[in-house]
Structure 1
Amino acid sequence: MIIEKRTYTFHPGKVQEFLALYEKEGLEIHTKYLPLVGYFVSDIGTLNQVITMWGYESMADREEKRARLYADPAWIAFGPKTTPFIQKMETMILKPTGWSPIK
């Protein structure tokens, strides 16, 4: 298994507005295709961040699932609604160690 960690840094004061929009319009579409491991907001340290974690069996599984998501007209329509909130986005692929509880 691999975990994709995405960190979104938002313009100050925009996290709650984004979360409301995402929960109302994006969450159902997103999780129709991608296996959600966790969805978090920063509380201490760098603020105004949303961190998402998605689980995949392999990089090929990730590519296939993301291709299906990106082909969905509803997701294509939703995406531009989020860009005014976001300052920066980072993606990291995490591979578990042999003793990790998530494998």
Structure 2
Amino acid sequence: DLAIGTQEQWLENYEKYGLEPQTEILGRLVGYFHTDFAELNQVVHMWAYESLEDRRARRKKLFEDPRWLEFLPRVRPLILKQESKMLIPANFSPIR
């Protein structure tokens, strides 16, 4: 969740400073979304990994990247709450 009225600021900063290092290092961006009604001020992004260990290794590398470390102080004050989930696709899921 983001502070009220900061969603556009988040998206602008992410596109300018965070998107490139994250996509280069984390790999497959499945989708990046923001809320428009109901629960407002949220950004949701989904990434695909080969395994939990693949995710750990990629995130470790991300947090060593100077571009990512430059991005974080720009957006940290905007974040009220962060939530992470590991989603396992069902056998019939079109996203694998």
Deviations 1:28-77 (A, max 9, x none): 11111112111000123200100010110110110111111111122112
**TM-score (ref. length: structure 1):** 0.87
What is the alpha-carbon distance in structure 1 between the residues aligned to residue 62 and residue 85 of structure 2? 19
Report runs of 4+ in structure 1 exceeding 6 Å deviation.
none
Q: Percent identity over the alignment?
A: 45
Gaps of 5+ in 2: none
The answer as to whether partners of 2:17 and 2:67 remain within 8 angstroms in 1 is no
Q: Using CA pairs below 8 Å that are at least 6 residues apart, which structure has the higher relative contact order? A: 1
Q: State the Cα distance separating 1:80 from its structure 2 match.
A: 1.4
Q: TM-score, normalised by structure 2?
A: 0.93
Q: Which has the higher strand share?
A: 1
Count of matched residue pairs: 95
Among 9, 26, 37, which residue is 1:17 paired with?
A: 9
Structure 1 vs Structure 2 CA RMSD: 1.0
**Equivalent runs, 1:39-50 vs 2, <5 Å:** 39-50=32-43
